[in-house]
């Protein structure tokens, strides 16, 4: 690597951060626009839900495909291709005229957006060779996820209110063009010496079907019923095509997902920790805005403000965790960070209708600091223990685990919240004595029972989330890394 490239390293990081930020921003910002889209297209809330569901499905399916393509034909090519299609899809979504066109254009966006994570991580891994510096870079890049989740509501509200819902898609065009120009200027193409061009298309198809049915049932299962005929059919398809996919991968010369990764205990344990952390975090945190608006009287914009300090803490913690690479064993850093996140989540169990903004902000900051502190360690481990020519595939598996974990968390915790609330209502009502039975008093008692049942249910959800994180912290102690590899990959102009 020449001195000129050394000077460009941090510009490479900034370039991929722009892509990551824009892709994640788009996911969070669209939900704010749904009420306006529902009015314009004259559709139901249920129908509008497919705008988000279609995006989640397509994104989950294509992450491993892009990761493999990046390793096969070049990460820079795939990154720029994905970014270009994302801009095109954004333009089309901004011009959508009905629900069908919007869903189709959102699928285009999702397919393109899923190229970012595996290729961006691989680009960073081959740009920053030194282990500690690489971990810092990965930590800073990872913080873009948190920043996008916060700034989505903050930027989306003013855009929608002042320029209409189409502006949230069209704004991607100028920002995206800047990102593409930066990628063309600063990112070097990375190639693998032992790559070949025999792409695993049947593996991609069977994995896509399996993931589609899994994500679909996780997204719609609460409405369908987890044991309804439709849900059971989805479970069946998921299992069958997952089995076919596994059979294909074990016999393909260039598998989409190399199963030898799963014979590496470090890879598996890191993946398990990553899954549990994201399941607990996303499953628990998605309830906070609902709690703030339902029980504390916050507006949607005010709820978004609560997450600004969280983003700051994660941005600060991620590079700090990266600085510990080579000084402290990764398992201790990851275990400690996961435990700190568990403490933050546990503090939410004390929320009630008398809580203030600080009662949410302080636990969020503790949780975010813990999350951020271990994030760069996880990504750095994955980038260091797999062959350089398979970093894209390995990182796509990490991303896939994260996405499925989030879907699991939301689905499971939403179901638990509903069931626990019903159970709490019955238990509280059974132990409630009403001495006056006028309609006004009865109505007030019913309201108070419902309120207490819901608030208690939220507390129980946060407790479950904290327990899952503690389990993740304990399992992190089994992550053993003998040596963080810093070998060099070939760069071509």
Instruction: Give the position of tokens 């994500």.
Output: 215
Are 328 and 224 part of one and the same domain? no
Q: Which residue has the tokens 């988000």?
A: 52
243 and 257 co-located in one domain: no
Q: CA 463 to CA 176: how far, in whole Å? A: 41
| pLDDT of 189 | 78
Residue in the structure block whose two tokens are 């500690």: 132
| Residue 335: φ, ψ to 5° | -60, -45
Alpha carbon distance, N-terminus to C-terminus of the chain: 11
Helices (H) and strands (E) in the chain, counts: 18, 2
Same domain, 359 and 383: yes
Question: Do 340 and 220 belong together in one domain?
Answer: no
The reply to whether 225 and 78 lie within a common domain is no
Alpha-carbon span 155 to 142, nearest angstrom: 20
Min mean pLDDT across 70-84, 139-153, 309-323 is at 139-153
Q: What is the pLDDT of residue 363?
A: 92
Tokens of 197: 């061009």
Mean pLDDT for all residues in the chain:
78
Same domain, yes or no, for 22 and 68?
yes
- Assess whether pLDDT exceeds 80 at residue 355: yes
Give the C-alpha separation, 23 to 16, whole Å.
11
What does the alpha-carbon distance between residue 273 and residue 280 come to, in Å, rounded to a whole number?
11
Helix extents (H) in 96-130:
99-113, 116-127
338 shares a domain with 390? yes
Q: Is the dihedral of CA 265, 267, 273, 275 positive or negative?
A: negative
Q: What percent of the chain has pLDDT over 90?
A: 11
Please, are residues 146 and 311 in contact by the beta-carbon 8 Å criterion? yes
Span of 134-138, 261-265, 292-296, 362-366 with lowest mean pLDDT: 134-138
pLDDT over 70 percentage in the chain: 82
Residue 1 reports pLDDT greater than 50: no
Q: Are residues 364 and 395 in the same domain?
A: yes
Report residue 329 as tokens: 């064993």
Q: Are 123 and 78 in contact (CB under 8 A)?
A: no
Q: Of the candidates 2, 60, 59, 48, which has an alpha carbon nearest to the alpha carbon of residue 26? A: 59
Boundary residue ending a domain (251, 274, 289): 251
Give the integer Cα–Cα distance in Å for 252 and 205: 14
DSSP character at residue 145: H
User: Which residue has 């939220």 as its token pair?
Assistant: 458
The domain that holds 33 is classified in CATH as: 1.20.1250.20
Cα angle, residue 142 at apex, residues 139 and 148 outer, rounded to 5°: 140
C-beta of residue 406 within 8 angstroms of C-beta of residue 348: no
Give yes or no for residue 92 having a pLDDT over 50. yes
The answer to whether 374 and 338 have CB atoms below 8 angstroms apart is: yes
Q: 491 in helix, strand or coil?
A: strand
Domain that holds residue 183: 3-200+252-492
Q: Rounded mean pLDDT of 244-262? A: 80
Asked if residue 362 and residue 233 are part of one domain, the reply reads no
pLDDT-derived band at 487 (thresholds 50, 70, 90) equals very low
Q: Which two tokens stand for residue 465?
A: 């989330």
Of the three residues 251, 280, 315, the one that is the final residue of a domain is 251
Statement to judge: residues 373 and 483 lie in one domain: yes
Are 165 and 242 found together in one domain? no
206 shares a domain with 183: no
Is residue 294 a contact partner of residue 302, using CB atoms and an 8 Å limit?
Answer: no
Task: Give the residue from 233, 251, 269 where a domain finishes.
Answer: 251
Q: How confident is the model at residue 424 (pLDDT cuts 50, 70, 90)?
A: low
- How confident is the model over 145-167, as pLDDT tens digits? 666 766 776 777 778 778 888 98
Number of domains in the chain: 2
The pairs formed by 1-7 with CB atoms below 8 angstroms and a separation of 24 or more are 1/129, 1/488, 1/491, 5/188, 5/491
């Amino acid at each position: 690597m020449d001195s000129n490239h050394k000077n460009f390293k941090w510009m490479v990081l900034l370039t991929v951060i722009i892509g990551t930020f824009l892709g994640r921003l788009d996911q969070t910002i669209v939900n704010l626009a749904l009420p306006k889209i529902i009015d314009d297209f004259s559709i139901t809330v249920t129908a509008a839900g497919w705008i988000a569901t279609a995006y989640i499905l397509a994104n989950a399916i294509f992450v491993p495909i892009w990761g493999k393509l990046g390793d096969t034909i070049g990460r820079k090519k795939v990154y720029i291709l994905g970014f270009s299609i994302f801009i095109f899809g954004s333009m089309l979504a901004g011009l959508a005229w009905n629900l069908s066109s919007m869903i189709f254009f959102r699928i285009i966006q999702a397919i393109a957006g899923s190229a970012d994570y595996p290729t961006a991580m691989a680009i960073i891994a081959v740009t920053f060779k030194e282990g500690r510096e690489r971990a810092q870079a990965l930590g800073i890049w990872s913080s873009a996820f948190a920043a996008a989740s916060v700034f989505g509501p903050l930027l989306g509200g003013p855009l929608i209110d002042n320029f209409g819902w189409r502006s949230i898609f069209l704004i991607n065009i100028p920002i995206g063009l800047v990102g593409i120009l930066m990628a063309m200027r600063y990112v070097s193409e990375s190639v693998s010496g032992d790559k070949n061009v025999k792409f695993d298309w049947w593996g991609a198809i069977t994995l896509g079907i399996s993931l589609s049915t899994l994500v679909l049932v996780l997204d719609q299962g609460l409405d369908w019923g987890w044991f309804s005929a439709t849900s059971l059919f989805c479970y069946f398809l998921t299992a069958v095509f997952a089995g076919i996919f596994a059979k294909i991968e074990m016999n393909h010369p260039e598998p989409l997902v190399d199963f030898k990764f799963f014979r590496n205990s470090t890879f598996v344990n890191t993946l398990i920790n990553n899954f549990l952390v994201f399941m607990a975090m996303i499953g628990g945190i998605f309830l906070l805005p609902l709690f703030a608006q339902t029980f504390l009287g916050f507006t949607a914009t005010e709820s978004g403000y609560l997450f600004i300090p969280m983003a700051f803490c994660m941005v600060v913690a991620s590079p700090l965790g990266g600085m510990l690479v080579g000084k402290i064993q990764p398992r201790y850093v990851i275990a400690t960070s996961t435990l700190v996140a568990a403490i933050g989540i546990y503090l939410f169990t004390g929320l009630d209708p008398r809580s203030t903004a600080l009662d949410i902000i302080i636990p969020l900051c503790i949780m975010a600091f813990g999350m951020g502190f271990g994030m760069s360690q996880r990504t750095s481990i994955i980038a260091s223990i797999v062959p350089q020519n398979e970093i894209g595939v390995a990182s796509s598996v990490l991303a896939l685990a994260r996405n499925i974990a989030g879907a699991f968390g939301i689905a499971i915790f939403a179901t638990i919240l509903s069931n626990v609330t019903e159970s709490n209502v019955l238990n509280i009502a059974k132990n409630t004595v009403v001495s006056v039975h006028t309609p006004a008093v009865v109505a007030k008692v019913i309201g108070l029972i419902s309120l207490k049942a819901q608030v208690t249910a939220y507390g129980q959800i946060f407790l479950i989330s904290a327990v899952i994180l503690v389990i993740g912290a304990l399992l992190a102690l089994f992550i053993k890394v003998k040596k963080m590899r810093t070998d060099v990959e070939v760069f071509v102009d």
